[in-house]
Structure 1
Amino acid sequence: MMKNLEVTSIEQLQSVLSTYFGYSSFRTGQEQAIQNVLHGRDTLCVMPTGGGKSICYQVPAMVMEGTVLVVSPLISLMKDQVDALLQIGVQAAYINSSLTTEEYFGIMENALAGAYKLLYVAPERFESQSFIQQINKMDIPMIAIDEAHCISQWGHDFRPSYRMMHTVINSFVKKPVVLALTATATPAVRDDICHQLNIDPEFTVMTGFERSNLTFSVVKGQDRDKFVKAYVKKNEGEAGIIYAATRKAVDQVYTMLERTGIAVARYHAGLSDTVRQSEQDRFLMDEATVMVATNAFGMGIDKSNIRYVIHYQMPKNMESYYQEAGRAGRDGLDSHCTLLFSSQDVITQRFLIDQSQDVNRIPGELEKLQSMIDYCHTESCLQKFIISYFGESDLQDCNRCANCTDTRERADVTVDVQKVLSCVIRMGQRFGKTMIAQVLTGSRNKKVVEFGFDKLTTYGIMKGRNAKEVSDFIEFIISENFLGVENGQFPIIYMTELGKDVLTGKTKVYRKATVETKQITQDDPLFDQLRALRLKIAQEASVPPFVVFSDKSLRDMAAKMPMTDEAFLEVNGVGDAKLERYGEAFMEEIKAFSKQMV
């Protein structure tokens, strides 16, 4: 078992960080959070996804006597983190519903004997009084509560089992220090976490919500399927997640990509537990490069090399969006987050909110949905909009999101918008997008003829385009608020007050050119070879490739081309354990590559 260190200086903490985790210095906020807990101060730590929250409890665990208890609702995260810790020589284990009875008792026996530095536990486990009695026999200097927003009824993912944490903490004869951690918490949620866990708000460590390696964009009024196919094809080989709001949409996008030959997986609640686990494993092991999923997927997925996240449909609130989008670029490398907006998304999300079990939460959820809609329509900096939502002020434009860098030319489409508005009026403002597009393109559809719409003056006035193009154009007009959508069993389109100004010639309408898909990363032959070696080693060890090395480590390795132990230790994320385990294989690959280049 690892020798405990007696902490007297930051140098000793940095030694642990470097020796085991391969990092030369702490990130913003990490050292402060660690010093807080080592001095016995209960602390709330708010860091964005990928900000390095796990280091805040893993490093203290290495220098404290006893076993640090980590509370997490995420089975997949527990496994990934325990795998990663074992890879670097840190004794760790987890207890959750995936264990057999025999495995559970074996781990508890080891835990009571002090065999682990970290023990990960699902919050539901604390519903067992016998389990609470067992852990009271252990030496637990600290409890780290991950995804702490789950404790708050104002949070977007409230879980009643988290409310028990206060009682559990107080049950210890010698109270452990508490470290609550979350990535997405508004001021109200932060206050509630502190109140529930009796944390002095003075000991809140916040590093800011901005993710400087992420580029955000919103695409409106374009063919979503066409965009997704082109994007994924252009970035084939890079890991990405595509989120959709419904199972039906997930299945549709999955089938579309599978038919184009993409190595794709899918995940939603309609699949069996076995299939879901299998699909998740394929994605984690890099056997599938793209995961198409509902929001049931991803919480706690520790896969660090996700280069892009596409939201095929708008999510229900900013907390969900930022958490899901934030799964891109956890290794710190440049990554892209794209939201494909359609007015139908608003109707879908309102329907899902109305199905909520707790009617008292519906007004608050609708308010959050409106903020999400506002995000999709803002023309100001997207990153600034997001972090303002989480309570930060005095912000600068990010100068990298699609709104900040948009140089697309604008075309005057006023006349075409007037044609659509005029058609909507003549059809009585009681039909949906599809029927309007059919009338404008001169369709001989049975219903069009039955309603006598083929006799309208607007019938066929856009017959130079197909119905799909006109439907996308109508979507653009809705996104600009010249047309509105009335909720109901069938979405009915009507003209807004802003639309009247366009129809009467008071307002002109401009449309920017179509958003083109781009390749995210530059080609690098050595990086590709190192990535192939990483996959081979990971498959032999039955661990996800990112557990061996992150993409950031491989990029740094490809740039520095280390050929000695000393040089290899200079690579980002390489400590003594990884040098010993993998150094020779990767340095041999680099030497072979350099000979080829001569």
Structure 2
Amino acid sequence: MSTDELIYKTLKERFGYETFKPGQLEVIQSVLAGQATLAVLPTGMGKSLCYQLPAYLLGHTTVIISPLIALMQDQVAQLNYQGEKKAVAINSNLEPRQKHALLRQLPQYRFVFMAPETISQPAVIQALQQCQIDLLVIDEAHCISQWGIDFRPDYLVLAQIKHQLNPGATLALTATADAQVRHDILAKLDLQSANRIITSVDRPNIYLGVSQQADEASKNAFLQQLVTESQGPGIIYFSSRQKTVEIAAFLQQKTAMRVAYYHAALSPQERFIIQQQFMQGQLDVICATNAFGMGINKANIRYVIHYHLPQNIESYLQEVGRAGRDGQPAYAMLLATPQDTYLQQSLVSFGIPEAGLIRRFYQEPTLFKQSQGNEFELLRRYQQIGMDEQAVSELLQNRQKEKRFALQTMVDYLNLQGCRRQFIVNYFDEQPQQVAHADQCCGQQDSTVFLEKFNLKTLTDDKSPKIDGLDHWDGILKQLF
């Protein structure tokens, strides 16, 4: 049996599909050929299949670097739902005894999920070196560019770890990467000769809307109208944890919708329960920060609303792409007031140490031994991985320039008079195509007329993976936490 025949046989028998979505087959063929691969597939196009299917044909260990604990747990739960028992997430939620036991048993697992901060630990690397690693996957690889400088520097040592582990193949997966981000991913993973498989980001079934509001009161009134008149589940994104709580309470009071809020300050148990309630249709609306959504495989989300202006077009598109995965009509609405741009401008420099602080830290490190905060943790980690003052200063200055440029691009999108889908395609696609602009494509809204025009209907055929209902969650939580 040829390799392609085996691929299709596994696709049908393991996953229940007859055909691949655009890009999937090419990625799988590249991985099975032992090629380093960068795959850029739109949100909802089944990126997980690109490493899950090869793992069954390769037969040993596949290691997946994942940015969020909630995402790892969701992926393990989905694999368990599909009947896979040899999947494990090793993260900071584990007790030391549990972690040590799992590290001793790693060769028994087919899928091993870890964060960059976990895989960079010497004991973990040593345990992984006892495994035959067929495939190393960097999931949500755009985080290397967006997070790896001013937030999570362990992303910057993944190339070194890759060489230590010597996997059969390496796969970097993302849904959103423009030319600069693709360059960053390949450079920082030392994959310059990788195959690049890039499909269009265009999602014609998602209407792209913007609504400019005079102030927060009018924004809230418009939001209430949107949520009331829209049918089907939806997500509302915020830049502020406090606002997720405030607006969730506002919508609970003003509408009949079942609403909850979700942000990173909630306990793992709370986040897990809220996520599963939404997945199973027990909640209509989630008010969330960007902590919610990576890996959420819910097919019938009908709308994604941004209450605040996102900091960059990559994050915006990643979040918008969670709507309409069933191919049915959905919409994305970006709400904006004149104050929103100032809010994001104030956040651009947040957490990035200034040049004077970097200089003092390197000159007199003992002064900062007890200092708390993201800036100091960042500098300590850079020092640990051997970067000097000049290299850190240049890196962070460049990162700040990139963040300012990214925010300006988002402002350009907000104020755009032309076709928003064309703007996105031109920004991301290597070979931009002319999109078919129409009323159902994009627009500027000051009312809910567009809801009447599209007549968005409730779709009850939700193909999202299910975990048994609330009665069984105590047992699930004990296993996961």
Listed as ranges, the matches of 1:359-378 within 5 Å are: 360=397, 361-378=399-416
1:405-434 per-position Cα deviation (integer Å, ceiling 9, x unaligned):
78x9xxxxxxxxxxxxxxxxxxxxxxxxxx
State whether structure 2 residue 48 is matched by structure 1 residue 54. yes
Q: 1:320 to 1:157 in 2, by over 3 A?
A: farther
Q: Which amino acid aligns with 1:135?
A: L
1:463-509 per-position Cα deviation (integer Å, ceiling 9, x unaligned):
xxxxxxxxxxxxxxxxxxxxxxxxxxxxxxxxxxxxxxxxxxxxxxx
Listed as ranges, the matches of 1:15-54 within 5 Å are: 15-54=9-48
Residue 92 (structure 2) aligns with: 97
Residue 166 (structure 1) aligns with: 159
Residues in 1 aligned to 2:422 and 2:8: alpha-carbon distance in whole angstroms: 33
The equivalent position to 2:130 in structure 1, one of 132, 137, 150, is: 137
Residues in 2 aligned to 1:164 and 1:245: alpha-carbon distance in whole angstroms: 29
Question: What is the CA distance between 1:11 and its match in structure 2?
Answer: 1.9
Residue 424 (structure 1) aligns with: none
**8 Å CA contact retained: 1:71, 1:123:** yes
Q: Structure 2: which 5+ runs fail to align?
A: 355-396, 475-481
Asked which structure has the greater CA Rg, the reply is 1
Listed as ranges, the matches of 1:62-101 within 5 Å are: 62-90=56-84, 91-101=86-96
Residue 184 (structure 1) aligns with: 176
Residues in 2 aligned to 1:536 and 1:86: alpha-carbon distance in whole angstroms: 10
Q: Which amino acid aligns with 2:301?
A: I
Residues in 2 aligned to 1:386 and 1:82: alpha-carbon distance in whole angstroms: 32
Residue 257 (structure 1) aligns with: 251
Partner of 2:400, secondary structure, is helix
Partner of 2:142, secondary structure, is helix
Q: Which amino acid aligns with 1:522?
A: K
State whether structure 2 residue 415 is matched by structure 1 residue 517. no
Residue 209 (structure 1) aligns with: 201
TM-score normalised by the chain length of structure 1: 0.65
Question: What is the CA distance between 1:136 and its match in structure 2?
Answer: 0.5
Residue 284 (structure 2) aligns with: 289
Residue 245 (structure 1) aligns with: 239
Residues in 2 aligned to 1:338 and 1:156: alpha-carbon distance in whole angstroms: 30
**8 Å CA contact retained: 1:77, 1:302:** no
Question: What is the CA distance between 1:275 and its match in structure 2?
Answer: 4.3
Partner of 1:292, secondary structure, is strand
Q: Which amino acid aligns with 1:517?
A: L
Residue 294 (structure 2) aligns with: 299
**8 Å CA contact retained: 1:69, 1:119:** yes
1:229-282 per-position Cα deviation (integer Å, ceiling 9, x unaligned):
22222235x221101222333233111111133211112345555544543443
Question: What is the CA distance between 1:354 and its match in structure 2?
Answer: 3.6
**8 Å CA contact retained: 1:154, 1:188:** no
Identity %: 37
Residue 341 (structure 2) aligns with: 346
Count of residue pairs the alignment pairs up: 425
Partner of 1:141, secondary structure, is strand
Question: What is the CA distance between 1:76 and its match in structure 2?
Answer: 1.7
Partner of 2:222, secondary structure, is helix
Question: What is the CA distance between 1:387 and its match in structure 2?
Answer: 2.1
Question: What is the CA distance between 1:531 and its match in structure 2?
Answer: 6.0
Q: 1:207 to 1:256 in 2, by over 3 A?
A: same
How large is the RMSD of aligned CA atoms in angstroms? 3.0
Q: 1:155 to 1:327 in 2, by over 3 A?
A: farther
